[in-house]
């Protein structure tokens, strides 16, 4: 392919996001021979520690260091990337709330092809990349063909590419700050104010070992009680998918997913949850996932270790009873 591949690294509190490794894996699938450059924007010592961490598994690390980048926003970053990216480069960005902000506009500004929310690559032929995407909330998949010979911005769905182990590398950290910020930062039209933190609920599901998670399949608010009973029997906590929060049956702090909490339980019961990637994206640390769903084609069965095809309303009360019997025995 011969084109340079870049991976934009998201980081927080001096630590690179899990997607950094996934982007390496994605780049490898894209082109096994490609040398991959990590691009990291930030400020001061936190930035340095991310760079050092990332340098251990990327071939090269470009950093952009400016106090104004202590909180990176897409609008400020985009023109900086435009200045430092070479022609015809391939840029990989995680398809998350930051990527959605940054990437479409970036593709226009560097006049490159744009491939959003890619879940797999199936090879490059004659400058044309064959990639796999999902449509209709994952009900069908599609192969898309895109001419990336003039460069591309590709957003990669978090969790789609599994990095087996860290490539041991000894990447060089190159400071690109001067090139990126030659004529100052683009501020003014778009000013970051603050983060309004989600209200902390009665339980912190990010710290739970056992999560009994409920989705649309619960059907009715009155059935919520059986979820709590099961969670109590299992000595776990109750979490949920977005529809439950939208219906106001549980507080936002119990929502697992990309727009909710990221959780790392040991056991995760997905009850009546279809398993859209926005939900599964909130599951980290490879828990043991048990899925119960009416629809045998529900994507959650892809993620789960053990699945039961059936109505949760039939299973839950019985399961709760059996566990309680077991405990009292």
The alpha carbon torsion through 201, 205, 208, 213 (nearest 10 deg) reads 120
Which of 172, 177, 176 has its CA nearest to residue 58?
Answer: 172
To 10 degrees, what angle do helices 97-109 and 74-84 make?
A: 40
57 vs 277, beta carbon nearer another protein = 277
Contacting another protein (CB under 8 A), which of 25, 34, 163, 247? 247
The interface region with another protein, picked from 26-34, 46-54, 55-63, 92-100 by CB under 8 A, is 92-100
- Closest distance to another protein from the beta carbon of 261 (Å): 6
Contact positions with another protein (CB under 8 A) in 39-58 = none
Please name the helix (run of DSSP H) or strand (run of DSSP E) that holds residue 106, with its range, or none. Answer: helix 97-109
- Closest distance to another protein from the beta carbon of 107 (Å): 7
Locate 237 and state its tokens: 């906590």
Question: Binding pattern to another protein, positions 143-162, x when CB under 8 A?
Answer: xxxxx---------------
- Please tell me whether residue 204 binds another protein under the rule CB under 8 A: no
Measured between its terminal Cα atoms, the distance across the chain in Å is: 65
- Please tell me whether residue 164 binds another protein under the rule CB under 8 A: no
Beta partners for 299?
Answer: none
Contacting another protein (CB under 8 A), which of 18, 48, 101, 232? 101
- Please tell me whether residue 262 binds another protein under the rule CB under 8 A: yes
- Please tell me whether residue 241 binds another protein under the rule CB under 8 A: no
- Please tell me whether residue 182 binds another protein under the rule CB under 8 A: no
In angstroms, the CA 42 to CA 45 distance is: 9
21 vs 269, beta carbon nearer another protein = 269
Contacting another protein (CB under 8 A), which of 100, 163, 174, 185? 100
147 vs 182, beta carbon nearer another protein = 147
The interface region with another protein, picked from 21-29, 52-60, 167-175, 284-292 by CB under 8 A, is 284-292
Which of 11, 93, 22, 13 has its CA nearest to residue 57?
Answer: 22
- Please tell me whether residue 191 binds another protein under the rule CB under 8 A: yes
Tracing tokens 């439950």 back to the chain, one arrives at 244
Q: Are 149 and 87 in contact (CB under 8 A)?
A: no
- Please tell me whether residue 289 binds another protein under the rule CB under 8 A: yes
- Please tell me whether residue 1 binds another protein under the rule CB under 8 A: no
21 vs 74, beta carbon nearer another protein = 74
The interface region with another protein, picked from 41-49, 51-59, 173-181, 262-270 by CB under 8 A, is 262-270
21 vs 245, beta carbon nearer another protein = 245
Compute CA distances 155 → 60, 162, 271, whole Å.
Answer: 20, 15, 30
158 alpha-carbon distance from chain centroid: 3
In angstroms, the CA 257 to CA 139 distance is: 19
- Closest distance to another protein from the beta carbon of 67 (Å): 19
Write phi, then psi, for 288 (nearest 5 degrees): -80, 110
- Please tell me whether residue 228 binds another protein under the rule CB under 8 A: no
Q: Are 244 and 270 in contact (CB under 8 A)?
A: no
The interface region with another protein, picked from 19-27, 46-54, 177-185, 290-298 by CB under 8 A, is 290-298
Contact positions with another protein (CB under 8 A) in 61-80 = 73-75, 78
- Closest distance to another protein from the beta carbon of 171 (Å): 27
Beta partners for 4?
Answer: none
Neighbours of 166 (CB within 10 A): 12
Contacting another protein (CB under 8 A), which of 130, 167, 264, 284? 130
Q: Are 119 and 132 in contact (CB under 8 A)?
A: yes
């Amino acid at each position: 392919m011969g084109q340079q591949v870049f991976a934009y690294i998201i980081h927080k509190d001096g630590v690179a996001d899990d997607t950094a490794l996934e982007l390496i894996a994605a780049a490898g699938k894209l082109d096994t021979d490609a040398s991959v450059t990590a691009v990291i924007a930030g400020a001061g010592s936190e930035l340095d520690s991310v760079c050092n961490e990332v340098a251990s598994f990327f071939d090269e690390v470009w950093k952009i260091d400016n106090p104004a980048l202590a909180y990176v926003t897409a609008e400020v970053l985009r023109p900086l990337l435009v200045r430092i990216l070479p022609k015809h480069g391939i840029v990989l960005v995680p398809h998350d709330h930051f990527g959605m902000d940054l990437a479409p506009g970036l593709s226009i500004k560097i006049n490159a092809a744009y491939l959003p929310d890619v879940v797999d690559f199936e090879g490059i032929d004659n400058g044309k990349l064959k990639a796999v995407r999902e449509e209709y909330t994952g009900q069908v998949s599609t192969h898309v063909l895109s001419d990336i010979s003039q460069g591309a911005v590709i957003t990669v769905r978090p969790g789609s590419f599994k990095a087996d182990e860290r490539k041991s590398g000894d990447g060089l950290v190159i400071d690109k700050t001067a090139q990126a910020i030659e004529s100052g930062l683009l501020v003014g039209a778009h000013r970051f104010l603050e983060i309004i933190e989600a209200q902390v609920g009665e339980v912190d599901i990010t710290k739970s070992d056992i999560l009994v998670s409920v989705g649309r399949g619960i059907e009715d608010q009155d059935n919520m009680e059986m979820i709590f009973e099961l969670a109590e029997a299992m000595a776990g906590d109750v979490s949920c998918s977005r529809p439950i929060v939208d219906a106001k049956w549980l507080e936002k702090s119990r929502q697992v997913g990309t727009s909710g909490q990221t959780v790392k339980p040991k056991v995760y019961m997905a009850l009546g949850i279809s398993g859209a990637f926005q939900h599964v994206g909130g599951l980290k640390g490879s828990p043991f996932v048990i899925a119960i769903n009416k629809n045998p084609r529900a994507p959650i069965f892809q993620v789960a270790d053990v699945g039961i095809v059936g109505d949760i309303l039939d299973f839950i009360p019985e399961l709760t009873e059996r566990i309680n019997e077991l405990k009292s025995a």
